[in-house]
Amino acid sequence: MPPPRPVAGQASAEFVALLAVVGVVLAGAAAVGSPPALAAKVAGAVRHGICLVAGGICTPGEARAAGLAPCLVHARAERERLGGRLLVVRLGRGDSLLVERRSDGSAAVSFADGGGAGASVGAGLQIAGLEAKLRGGAGLQFTAGRTWEFPTFAAAARFVRRWGRTETLTGEARGLLPGGERPPPADSRYVEGGGYGEFAAALGGPAVAGVDLRGEAGAVAGRRVGRDGRVTWYDRLDAETAGRLGLVLGAIEEHHAGEAALEVTVVRGRPVELRVRAAARVHGELTPPGPATSMQDLHARLRDVSRAPGGHGRRLEAEVSLDLTEPANRRALLGVVEVLQLRVAPGDWADRLRALAARLDADGAVDVRLFRVGLDERDLGADAALGLGIGASYERTEEVRELMGAWSLRPGGALQEREDCIPA
């Protein structure tokens, strides 16, 4: 029988000394130029030793035994959008590709098609060489998508090479012709829709530096259906509402969360799980020193991540899940659903949110991820005024996320680093 693991955060003096010696050896090896492969193996062994001492989740086997799902370690999203404007009417069409790789080696590929229609108005003013422009709009949008699951990333890559070209704007146009090809049936499908609003403002002139402001907001709800019969209903939340759903999500909202969502998964008509997630751009890294023993502790650590505005290539994500087979958890969720259905007096809305937040803090399972983010944006556009307001635009965006660190906190336990999620 193998010896028991050390208690989290309690390492023997001999082991700590050994790590210090190895650190000195690594520093010396780096100075004389040791082979990179050897240095990486030694560094990986040291990291694994630290994980063992700190009581983290160090192997995929330990993660499975603890009931923890594999982590997303790499994601690449490509989006393109084509838009047109005639007078105040705007139409848009978009496509996207998402490839995700997980820590257990599996992968997923998603294709999505979207469209929208709305109205847009603008105004301009020029005085003494100073020019100002303002444009705003609102409308409805929808998206339909499909996801395929693969046991390996290599299989997903082959699928993208085979079918990716058929899912672009031009590829779908070719698919409408006789003999057009279609991918095989997907493992799950989703559809979502809602409203949006956007604005753009520009100020410039010989005496002032150019100023360009843009922004958009929307309300989206959707449904995802898997082959196994699981149905997930989801709703995009504003950051302020998400920030009121417990300590962890509140800490993310303090970093000016840009994304938030609530999901409820149903099996054979019975709700089984609630997930609430939020994400924010941040500076710096999250490196909790030792185990966090409560939601309050984790909340404090998330708040302490550097708050420089705008973010610096880092994305901090937090997800809290709740078992809805527990009656108390289900009652708390139903209380909020009644708020969304406008079946509750406005004076009781805050109490319903607080009740759900209390259950998320008391019985929620938390997963925290820190990603490195790369973004590449390209856009082309033109406007004309020949008696009519006419415009067209094309945008292409590519975003890459790479996992830098992952942590999990389960009810009644301590915060554990997920070394099993970090590529060797």
Predicted confidence at residue 156, as pLDDT, reads: 96
Higher pLDDT pick, 415 / 288: 415
H or E element, residue 18? helix 13-32
Residue pair 336/352 in contact (Cβ under 8 Å)? The answer is yes
- Find tokens 């710096």 and name the residue: 284
pLDDT over 90 (residue 313): no
Cα 254 to Cα 301, 304, 354, distances in angstroms = 12, 10, 18
Distance CA 141, CA 199 (A): 16
Amino acid at 377: E
Amino acid at 7: V
DSSP conformation letters of 351-381: HHHHHHHHHHHHH-EEEEEEEEEEEEEEEEE
> Among candidates 83, 143, 145, 71, which has minimal Cα distance to 107?
71
- Find tokens 């630290």 and name the residue: 50
Q: Which two tokens stand for residue 141?
A: 């949008």
Predicted confidence at residue 242, as pLDDT, reads: 84
Query: CB 221: neighbour CB atoms within 10 A?
Result: 14
3-state secondary structure of 100: strand
314-323/365-385 β-pairing: antiparallel
Mean pLDDT of 86-97: 68
DSSP conformation letters of 258-290: -EEEEEEEEETTEEEEEEEEEEEEESS-----S
Higher pLDDT pick, 134 / 278: 278
Each domain of the chain, given as residue ranges in start order, spans 1-55
Residue 2 pLDDT grade (very low, low, confident, very high; cuts 50, 70, 90)? very low
3-state secondary structure of 256: coil
pLDDT over 60 (residue 48): no
Query: Would you put residue 7 in left (φ > 0), alpha (ψ -120 to 50) or beta?
Result: beta
Q: Of all residues in the chain, what percent carry a pLDDT higher than 70? A: 62
Amino acid at 359: R
Cα 192 to Cα 56, 116, 213, distances in angstroms = 38, 12, 28
Higher pLDDT pick, 15 / 268: 268
Residue 136 pLDDT grade (very low, low, confident, very high; cuts 50, 70, 90)? low
Predicted confidence at residue 93, as pLDDT, reads: 63
3-state secondary structure of 112: strand
Predicted confidence at residue 77, as pLDDT, reads: 92
Question: pLDDT tens digit string along 246-265?
Answer: 888 888 887 777 778 899 99
Distance CA 92, CA 143 (A): 12
What's 78's DSSP letter?
A: E
What's 5's DSSP letter?
A: P
Question: pLDDT tens digit string along 259-284?
Answer: 788 999 999 889 999 999 998 887 65
Residue pair 80/168 in contact (Cβ under 8 Å)? The answer is yes
Distance CA 150, CA 144 (A): 21
Residue 415 pLDDT grade (very low, low, confident, very high; cuts 50, 70, 90)? confident
Residue 98's φ and ψ, nearest 5 degrees, are: -130, 125
Calculate the average pLDDT of the chain.
76
Q: Which two tokens stand for residue 95?
A: 């496509």
Distance CA 261, CA 278 (A): 7
Question: pLDDT tens digit string along 217-245?
Answer: 556 789 999 988 899 998 887 777 888 88
Cα 102 to Cα 78, 279, 325, distances in angstroms = 18, 19, 27
Residue pair 293/416 in contact (Cβ under 8 Å)? The answer is no
Residue 96 forms beta bridges with which residues? Answer: 79, 112
Residue 73 pLDDT grade (very low, low, confident, very high; cuts 50, 70, 90)? very high
Amino acid at 55: G
Predicted confidence at residue 199, as pLDDT, reads: 62
Residue pair 24/385 in contact (Cβ under 8 Å)? The answer is no
Residue pair 197/214 in contact (Cβ under 8 Å)? The answer is no
pLDDT over 60 (residue 33): no
Residue 323 pLDDT grade (very low, low, confident, very high; cuts 50, 70, 90)? very high
- Find tokens 């527990």 and name the residue: 326
3-state secondary structure of 131: strand
99-126 burial code (b ≥16 CB/10 A, e <16): bbbbbbebbbbbbbbbbbebebebeeee
Mean pLDDT of 65-78: 90
Predicted confidence at residue 52, as pLDDT, reads: 58
Residue 159 pLDDT grade (very low, low, confident, very high; cuts 50, 70, 90)? very high
pLDDT over 60 (residue 307): no
